[in-house]
Amino acid sequence: MTAARLTLPSPAKLNLMLHILGRRPDGYHELQTIFQFLDYGDEITFAVRDDGVIHLHTEFEGVPHDSNLIVKAAKKLQEQSGCSLGIDIWIEKILPMGGGIGGGSSNAATTLLGLNYLWQLGWDADRLAALGLTLGADVPVFVRGHAAFAEGVGEKLTPVEPEEPWYLVLVPQVSVSTAEIFSDPLLTRNSPPIKVRPVPKGNSRNDCLPVVARRYPDVRNALNLLGKFTEAKLTGTGSCVFGGFPSKAEADKVSALLTETLTGFVAKGSNVSMLHRKLQSLL
């Protein structure tokens, strides 16, 4: 029998590039992106119950209990597996909402993997990723746990091995609406698809950056400030701005200069998520 209680990390991700190729008939956008994980994230604790009840003890302002992706993930897995067990869940939340670093999607994936282990379901990654896709386009990459070149709406994943620098991530205190950015008439929607593997250097732009920077002065300011020290990029459609550095010392030095006026953190890029490293250590 596995332990009845488990604490797992729920890591952040970065989009190292994001190209939008077009809009599909269903309203979603075809895109190409590279996901990489950070050794930085939330922490979720699970405790098994035998009465079938799913209870998230941590409250989120403005998010009803049953609307939280953590609860949705747990309920879907319980329904589809026919499991009679329940779960108590607590989360130590440090990833910002609307930041573009995958907080909600990561939480959902950590929940699926954690409950698969605790409930002893024996589901493989393909099955968990397929369930994860019904919760959000970014959930499968967190379920699989490896840096990836993603296509489609972000669900067609090819493992890649980008460099793993130290990153400084700046967190402007605004929440960017993904729907708002994708519906902006000025958004680039006709980037030519990249057919070469690995992705050629110089393809690191984010097509959402001009729209986000125009709409959100705080994000524009963060890009300008970080851009004085390294190439400053936007991750996903969120507010977070990041830049890579060859060492922690260099990232810390720039962080000390910028985080007097901006919230931010320094974290190591990782091609294998810290969630999967933790799960491997349990086997």
Q: Which residues are annotated as a binding site?
A: 96-106
Distance in angstroms (rounded) separating the CA atoms of residues 144 and 157 = 9
Distance in angstroms (rounded) separating the CA atoms of residues 255 and 248 = 10
Between CA 18 and CA 32, with CA 102 as vertex, the angle to 5 degrees is 20
Question: Considering only CA atoms, which of 269, 12, 19 is closest in space to residue 150?
Answer: 19
Distance in angstroms (rounded) separating the CA atoms of residues 9 and 139 = 15
**Would strands 29-49 and 5-23 be described as parallel, antiparallel, or unpaired?**
antiparallel
Distance in angstroms (rounded) separating the CA atoms of residues 261 and 252 = 15
The pair of three-digit structure tokens given for residue 111, joined into one six-digit string: 């929940």
Give the residue ranges of the annotated binding site for ATP. 96-106
3-state SS, residue 106: helix
> Given 13, 72, 207, 233, which residue is catalytic?
13
Residue 13 is a catalytic residue: yes
> Given 42, 138, 207, 233, which residue is catalytic?
138
**Residues labelled catalytic:** 13, 138
